[in-house]
Amino acid sequence: MPLRDRILQHLRQRTADAPLPLRLAFWDGAVFDFAPAPKVTLAIHSPRVLRLFLTGNMARLGRAYVEGEITVDGRLQDIMQV
C-alpha cells in the first residue's frame, strides 16, 4: 500500500469517532476530507513531506512549512483546534 494511503487509513481510524474539520490536499490534486465541511486545509506540495509526518519531527515539519512544501489555510482558531 502506498505511503499516502497508509497515512490516510491511519488518520481515518483515529478520527472515526470525532471527525476533524480538516481537508488534506496533495501535490497531485488528490483531496481527502475528514468531515463534511472542513474548516482547515493542509496542502502537502511534495511527497517528501509525507515521511516527515511519520517521524513527527516538528523542526523538519516547520522547515517544510517555511520552504512552502506545506501550506495551511483556515482561521487561526480552527487551525489550533485541528
Q: What is the CATH number of the domain that holds 8?
A: 3.30.1050.10
CA-based nearest residue to 70, from 55, 54, 48: 48
Convert the pLDDT of each residue in 17-71 to its tens digit: 888 899 999 999 999 999 899 999 999 999 888 888 888 888 999 999 999 999 9
Domain tally for the chain?
A: 1
In angstroms, rounded to a whole number, what is the distance separating the alpha carbons of residues 2 and 10?
13
In angstroms, rounded to a whole number, what is the distance separating the alpha carbons of residues 66 and 33?
24
3-state helix, strand, coil in the chain (%, to 5): 45, 20, 35
pTM (2 d.p.):
0.84
Residue-number span of the structural domain to which 23 is assigned: 3-81
56: helix, strand or coil: coil
